[in-house]
Amino acid sequence: MKILVTAKRVEDPESKIKVKPDGTGIVQEGLKYKINPFDEIGVEEGLRLIAKHDPKGEVVVVSIGGKEVQEQLRHALAMGAHRAVWVNHTGPLDQLAIAGLIQKVTEKEKPDLVILGKQSIDDDQNQVGQYLAEFLGWGQATFASKVESLESEAEKNKVPAVTLTADGKAVRVVREVDNGLATVECQLPAVVTTDLRLNQPRYASLPGIMKAKSKPIEELTPAKLGVDVTPTIQVLKLSSPPARKAGIKVPDVATLVDKLHNEAKVV
């Protein structure tokens, strides 16, 4: 079994994001970078599926970007992924380009499953997995989640939450949707996107980090893959959201209710 997992480079979710005064970008100083949290969950899920169903199988990670994205690939390799593919490209990429590039890598690698994050925490688009599934003509199961609590025994036992059906020809996925949980079954090969509650990613161990240094990273480019990456989105201007005006602290509940009733008029 082969599973392809994406690993996008994003700002650390703890970072303070500030817009440059001229609105052309964000202030880069002091920012730390990480693998997109949803993608880290994807790597974990891939590793668990392989461990359970085919220990001889492979998790291949792919990232698109400049040479700095190798850091995220090394992180995934340190977690236990087997190989990495780096699509070397600097400059803006829209979802058509990213999905197009991942499509070509998928056609080359022929995995049974591609796992992506449901969204990236910088652009917050929530699109690439679905574009990819359509481009490949595959089934999709987005927002893969877990029924039990992450603090449960089941989590501690690391039971895979995306399950292969008995015949091994499909995956059964529980999805987080409005008002509940939907379950779908996708014939393999398929595309799955991860929600936050799918699993708790493992830490990369020291031996894992040492080993990752010698694992191969294959370099590709959009030209080699034959994908036109001319952007179809123009980001014209960035701005900060309007600040909320400073509120007050009230000494007791009676004052709070008085303010809610007479000032805000919401009760």
Partner 1 sequence: MPIVLIVAEQQPDGNLRKASLNAISAGKQLADKAGAELHLVLLGKEPAKVADELKGSGAKVVHLGAAPELEHYLAETYAPAIAALAQELKADYVGMASTAQGKDLMPRVAARLKSAMATDITAINGSGADLTFTRPMWAGNVFAEVKLTTPVKVFTVRATEFAAAAGGQGAAEVKTFAPKVEASKTKFVDFKEVKSARPELTEARVVISGGRGTKGDFKEIEALADDLGAAVGASRAVCDAGWVPNDLQVGQTGKVVAPALYIAAGISGAIQHLAGMKSSKTIVAINKDAEAPIFQVADYGIVADLFKVLPELRQELAKLK
Q: 76 or 161, CB closer to ligand FAD?
A: 76
Residue that the structure tokens 């996708």 belong to: 186
* Whole-angstrom distance, CA of residue 225 vs CA of residue 102: 10
At 15 the three-state DSSP class reads coil
Draw the binding track, 122-161, toward ligand FAD (x: CB under 6 A; -: no contact). xx-xxxxx--------------------------------
Pick the closer one to ligand FAD by CB: 157 or 232.
232
- Collapsed DSSP state (helix, strand, coil) of residue 175: strand
Nearest CA to 102 among 17, 174, 39?
A: 39
What residues between 76 and 105 interact with ligand FAD by CB under 6 A? 92-95, 98
Output the smallest distance, CB 47 to partner 1, in A. Answer: 20
Based on its alpha-carbon atoms, the radius of gyration of the chain, rounded to whole angstroms, reads 21
Structure tokens at 112: 């049974």
Interaction with partner 1 in 238-267: which residues (CB under 8 A)?
A: 238-241, 244, 246-250, 252-254, 256-257, 259-261, 264, 266-267
Q: Segment contacting partner 1 (CB under 8 A): 15-23, 46-54, 73-81, 201-209?
A: 15-23
Span 156-185, contacts to partner 1 by CB under 8 A:
172, 176-185
Polymer length in residues for the chain: 267
The CB-of-206 to ligand FAD minimum distance in angstroms stands at 24
x/- map, 107-146, partner 1, by CB under 8 A: -----------xx-xxxxxxxxxxx-xxx--xxxxxx-x-
- Tell me, what DSSP letter sits at residue 261? I
DSSP 67: G
Among the listed residues 12, 13, 17, 256, the single contact to ligand FAD using CB under 6 A: 13
Residue 190 CA neighbour count, 13 Å, CB half: 21
Segment interacting with ligand FAD, rule: CB under 6 A, options 116-124, 158-166, 211-219, 244-252? 116-124
Q: Cα 34 to the chain's mean position, in Å?
A: 11
Q: Which x/- pattern, by CB under 6 A, does the window 208-237 give for ligand FAD?
A: -----------------------x-xxx--
Q: Distance between CA atoms of 260 and 190, rounded to whole angstroms?
A: 51
- The entry of partner 1, ligand FAD, none near residue 162 (CB within 5 to 8 angstroms by kind) is none
Please list, residue by residue across 125-161, b when 16 or more beta carbons sit within 10 angstroms of its beta carbon and e when fewer do: ebbbbbbbbebbebbbbbbbbbeeeeeeeebeeeebb
Q: Which is nearer to ligand FAD, 6 or 48 (CB)?
A: 6
Name which of 63 and 127 has its Cβ closer to partner 1.
Answer: 127
